[in-house]
Amino acid sequence: MCFPVRYAWLVVALSGLIAAPPGHAHETLKLDAPKPDLAATPPMGWNSWNKYACNIDEALVRRQADAMAASGMKDVGYQYIIIDDCWQKSRDTDGNIVADPERFPGGIKALADYVHSKGLKFGLYSDAGALTCGGRPGSAGHEFQDARQYARWGVDYLKYDWCYTGTRNAEAAYTIMAKALRESGRDIVLSICEWGDNHPERWAQPVGHLWRTTGDIFDAWEGKKDYSLGMTNILDLQVERWRHSGPNAWNDPDMLEVGNGGMTSTEYESHFSLWAMLAAPLIAGNDLSAMDADTRRILTNADVIAVDQDPLGQQARRIWKQGDLEIWARPLKGGEHAVVLFNRGDAPAEMTVNWGQLNLPAGLEADVKDLWSKQVSKSVRGSYGGTVASHGVIMVRITPVF
Ligand code: GLA
């Protein structure tokens, strides 16, 4: 491109106009209403993206709601049914967002009502840019109008993405939507999805209830694919993040791939265990209506979920690493601890955690429950260990005996 220099100001001015649609003069606005307390523990639910991407419709969403209620998932705490990108089609002449009439002929309100009738909550997706990542209309310049619409429809959760945002300031853009949601008259969880690109740990706490820390996950043990990362690559990016997470303000290492077929059962156990250790939102991304028994066993492991949902809300730290072997630990409410012995290697490995590594006295007696085998070892002193399968975990809950 070769613009004469004297026209450079014009290019700058025009790009400013494109990047800042009407309404952006308010980008400095402040949040006066406090953030509603809607995520004391990490949100749990299902989202359409990981398995279906844009291939969604209302029958699919109803099936997932039916399955969440019937499969035992609802009983162990899953509650949000979230439609990700591509439910939108256009805006009407008044600027109201319009759902795709072919895929959602009954409309979003009826779908939300259906989800609510199952005793579940309903989530939608939008984007802070002119377009969503899938090229549908975004919410830039329509934040208050969209938030009011979501409230009328009965939306309980908004995932708000970051494509086509040009030069927008992330804190300002998410603050506008946070304010719009708070003024909508309905309690709506705000899930910030700017992929950790703009240091959300510095500003997102008063704004949203959770924020993505990385690009997208894909259904593989490890690897990189365009903008997406395998499970262990995502995990590695969480190591330093534990300081910035807690009740009502969670780090989000992206949704679960359990049951989507790209990893082994052992690897999915590791994925689920580690996400629970991270106090991650547990948002399933598989077809709940056609889960095999093993997927269901993993996703509904109530002991692992209890670690994720521990009220202290303390994200795990990686307290030890040697080659392919890692120990992750998090304190739980009431003086208990959760520990994961994680073996990334190709062969089984003997692993042990010492009480000293958990800042517990070596002589302390504790009951140790293996959260996958369900075996309880009584009055253990000093350390606990075992053989950890290749790509597997031993995950335990340590309860001091006083
Ligand atoms: C981005 C997000 C994904 C998903 C897609 C939808 O990539 O990070 O989680 O919402 O957009 O287009």
**All structural domains of the chain with their residue ranges:** 8-308, 317-400
Query: What is the rounded distance in angstroms from the CA atom of residue 310 to the CA atom of residue 245?
Result: 13
**What's the confidence (pLDDT) of residue 28?**
55
* Ligand 1 centroid from CA 215, angstroms: 9
Q: Which is it for strands 189-193 and 157-161: parallel, antiparallel or unpaired?
A: parallel
Judge residue 383's burial from the number of C-beta atoms within 10 Å of its C-beta, 0-12 exposed, 13-18 middle, 19 or more buried. Answer: middle
Atom in ligand 1 nearest the alpha carbon of residue 84: 10
Q: What distance lies between CA 355 and its chain's CA centroid?
A: 31
Place of tokens 């946070």: 178
Q: Establish whether residue 143 lines the binding site of ligand 1, counting it when its CB lies within 6 angstroms of any ligand atom.
A: no
Ligand 1 binding pocket mutation candidate from 47, 48, 49, 252 (most atoms within 8 A of CB): 49
pLDDT at 34: 87
Ligand 1 lined by 193 (C-beta under 6 Å)? yes
pLDDT tens per residue, range 214-230? 999 999 999 999 999 99
| Side-chain half-sphere CA neighbours of 228 within 13 A | 14
Q: Which atom of ligand 1 is nearest to the CA of 215?
A: 8
Kindly state if the Cβ of 84 falls inside 6 Å of ligand 1.
yes
DSSP of 262-286: SS-HHHHHHHHHHHHHTT--EEE-S
Return the bridge partners of 376, or none: 369
Does ligand 1 come within 6 angstroms of the Cβ of 326?
no
In tens digits, the chain (402 residues) has pLDDT values of 333 433 443 433 443 344 444 444 445 578 888 899 999 999 999 999 999 999 999 999 999 999 999 999 999 999 999 999 999 999 999 999 999 999 999 999 999 999 999 999 999 999 999 999 999 999 999 999 999 999 999 999 999 999 999 999 999 999 999 999 999 999 999 999 999 999 999 999 999 999 999 999 999 999 999 999 999 999 999 999 999 999 999 999 999 999 999 999 999 999 999 999 999 999 999 999 999 999 999 999 999 999 999 999 999 999 999 999 999 999 999 999 999 999 999 999 999 999 999 999 999 999 999 999 999 999 999 999 999 999 999 999 999 998
Percent of the chain with pLDDT over 70: 93
Quote the pLDDT of residue 33: 82
CA 81–ligand 1 middle distance (angstroms):
16
* Whether residue 85 has its Cβ less than 6 Å from ligand 1: yes
**The CATH fold of domain 8-308:** TIM Barrel (3.20.20)
**C-alpha distances out from residue 359 to 197, 329, 355, 364, Å:** 34, 11, 6, 11
CA distances from 149 to 58, 99, 383 (A): 18, 12, 55
Contacts with 296 (C-beta within 8 Å, 6 or more apart), sequence order: 71, 72
Q: Is the CB of 133 under 6 A from ligand 1?
A: yes
Which uninterrupted H or E stretch holds 158? strand 157-161
Q: Is 161 in the pocket of ligand 1 (CB under 6 A)?
A: yes
Q: Is 236 a catalytic residue?
A: no
Phi, psi (rounded to 5 degrees) for 181: -65, -40
pLDDT in tens, 33-80: 889 999 999 999 999 999 999 999 999 999 999 999 999 999 999 999
Query: Which one of 46, 84, 252, 256 would you pick to mutate in the ligand 1 pocket, going by the greatest count of ligand atoms within 8 A of its CB?
Result: 84
Q: What is the CA radius of gyration of the chain?
A: 22
Distance CA 105, CA 280 (A): 34
Instruction: Render 304-332 in DSSP notation, one character per residue.
Output: HHHHHT-TT----EEEEEETTEEEEEEE-
Nearest protein CA to atom 6 of ligand 1, as residue: 85
Cα of 148 vs centre of ligand 1, distance in Å, is: 23
pLDDT at 23: 44
> Beta strand 337-343 with 393-400: parallel, antiparallel or unpaired?
antiparallel
Measured by CA distance, the residue closest to atom 9 of ligand 1 is 216
What top-level class would CATH report for the domain 317-400?
A: mainly beta
Residue 6 confidence (pLDDT): 39
| 362 secondary structure, DSSP code | T
The phi and psi torsions of 127 (rounded to 5 degrees) equal -145, 145
Backbone angles phi, psi at 71, to 5 degrees: -85, -5
User: Concatenated DSSP letters for 96-152?
Assistant: -EEE-TTT-TTHHHHHHHHHHHTT-EEEEEEESSSB-TTSSB--TT-HHHHHHHHHH
User: Which residue, 376, 381, 375, 373, is CA-closest to 400?
Assistant: 381
Q: Is 161 a catalytic residue?
A: yes
- Please report how the helices 143-153 and 170-182 are oriented relative to each other, as an axis angle in degrees rounded to 10: 40
The single residue of 146, 161, 254, 308 carrying the catalytic annotation is: 161
> 219 CA distance to ligand 1 centroid (A)?
14
Q: For the whole prediction, is pTM greater than 0.75?
A: yes
